[in-house]
Amino acid sequence: MIASPTLSQPPVRLVIHFFGTVQLYFDGRDLTATIGAKPLALLAYLAVAAPRPVARAQIAGLLWPDKAEDAARYRLRHLLWELRRLLGKDHLQADDENCRLDGEGLWVDVIELQQGCARFGLDQANPASAPMDVPALQQLVALYRGDFFGRLIVREAPIFEEWSLVAQERFQLLYQQLLDRLAQAQQMAGDESGTIQTLMRLIEADPLREKSYRALMMVYGRQGDRAAALRVYEQCKLRLSSELAVPPAPETEALRRRLATDTPDAKRPDLDHALRLFHAGHYDAALVACDAAETLAIEANTRHALALLRAEIALVRGHADEARRLIQTVRQILHPAPLRQ
């Protein structure tokens, strides 16, 4: 079944899935088996680079590393001719020096995912002002149906195989970053049920990411379901022990102790410490103290105060957009949006 492209105009003629099972459709016909592994490898390489062109010499060396340069270039010319005869010339563009996958009526999951991640700031070190659009993030997450290039084997192309493994790792990381951003957006929207489901998927994608376990424990803690939160802790502890032979981090242990008791918010002193650092002008240190306080901040009043302090630091530093985003977070904490039925 062909996934619905994000653009309906102009009509989409060429649809390619590279995540999970590799599939290629042209004018509604499944041509995956007709095209074969090496042509699909060429299209995959161009899709990751799109819309930038790629040198013919680079592609030839990637797909035929054991051939002389002239022989490799000849095979590439023949492969391009076969593909353009089958798919037309609108999408696979080539000249004497370069090749490029582009054009109207083209939909490729890899291209859609990379462009979407760029829009959401996942290519930035600190995407503080990135949008938190739950439906759009859900659409991007749905693009990732499994490992890049699936289990398709390209014979006599060891360099391409190595490249595809590196690409797999990169896209797995992007998928995890998308899930993390989606969980944040769902939490800001007051959708704790959706947040739980997304965090579970994040744990499944990376079972050794301890931060995900803590986030899930805190959601359950805010719901008053301490038993579920402590089961998540035990799951984390077992996984770390079996895979890495290490105990949970001190932050995770402290959160477990916090959840196992019925005392007031234990991290208020850390919040006070962050405030003292802020008033002394030590803004970086104050943000570090906020991070420490937030690890155990289950109660809404503490999360509210931490977000306000972050906003005040942003204002002092002249980051008005970031401050507005943080203030919106405070409003979401105080007045969560009702869930849609």
Name the E strands within the chain: 14-17, 23-26, 29-30, 54-55, 92-94, 98-101, 106-108
Confidence of residue 2 (pLDDT cuts 50, 70, 90): very low
Q: Are residues 133 and 258 in the same domain?
A: no
Q: Which of 136, 166, 196 is the last residue of a domain?
A: 166
| Cis status of the peptide bond prior to 51, with omega within 30 of 0 | yes
Answer yes or no: is pLDDT of 128 > 70: no
Vertex 30: Cα angle to 40 and 168 (nearest 5): 35
Q: Which of 166, 190, 221 is the last residue of a domain?
A: 166
Answer yes or no: is pLDDT of 4 > 80: no
Confidence of residue 340 (pLDDT cuts 50, 70, 90): very low
Whether 79 maps to a domain, the answer reads yes
Whether 178 maps to a domain, the answer reads no
Whether 191 maps to a domain, the answer reads no
Predicted local confidence at residue 339, as pLDDT = 38
Containing structural domain, residue 58:
1-166
Q: Are residues 224 and 278 in the same domain?
A: no
Q: Where are the alpha helices (DSSP H) in 245-267?
A: 250-260
Q: Are residues 320 and 222 in the same domain?
A: no
Confidence of residue 148 (pLDDT cuts 50, 70, 90): very high
Q: Are residues 223 and 315 in the same domain?
A: no
Whether 8 maps to a domain, the answer reads yes
Which own/partner contact pairs does 241-250 have at CB distance under 8 Å and 24+ positions apart? Answer: 243/207, 243/208, 244/208, 248/210, 249/210
Q: Are residues 283 and 244 in the same domain?
A: no
Q: What is the CA radius of gyration of the chain?
A: 25
Q: Which residues pair with 106 in a beta bridge?
A: 14
Is the CB of residue 199 less than 8 Å from the CB of residue 183?
A: yes
Q: Are residues 150 and 289 in the same domain?
A: no
Q: Are residues 240 and 103 in the same domain?
A: no
Q: Which of 134, 151, 166 is the last residue of a domain?
A: 166
Q: Are residues 21 and 146 in the same domain?
A: yes
Whether 213 maps to a domain, the answer reads yes
Tally of domains within the chain: 3
Mean pLDDT of the 268-289 span = 78
Whether 172 maps to a domain, the answer reads no
Averaged pLDDT of the chain: 85
Q: Are residues 316 and 274 in the same domain?
A: yes
Answer yes or no: is pLDDT of 136 > 50: yes
In this structure, the number of other CB atoms found within 10 A of the CB of residue 317 comes to: 11
> Tens digits of per-residue pLDDT, 281-339?
888 888 888 877 776 555 666 777 888 888 888 888 888 888 888 887 666 655 554 43
For residues 14 and 28, give the distance between their C-alpha atoms in angstroms, rounded to a whole number. 8
Answer yes or no: is pLDDT of 278 > 60: yes
Whether 186 maps to a domain, the answer reads no
For residues 282 and 280, give the distance between their C-alpha atoms in angstroms, rounded to a whole number. 6
> Tens digits of per-residue pLDDT, 5-32?
543 345 889 999 999 999 999 999 999 9
Q: Are residues 257 and 281 in the same domain?
A: no
Amino acid found at 233: Y
What does pTM read for this prediction? 0.74
Whether 250 maps to a domain, the answer reads yes
Q: What is the CATH number of the domain that holds 92?
A: 1.10.10.10
> Tens digits of per-residue pLDDT, 182-219?
998 898 888 989 999 999 999 999 999 999 999 999 89
Q: Are residues 256 and 277 in the same domain?
A: no
Q: Are residues 87 and 66 in the same domain?
A: yes
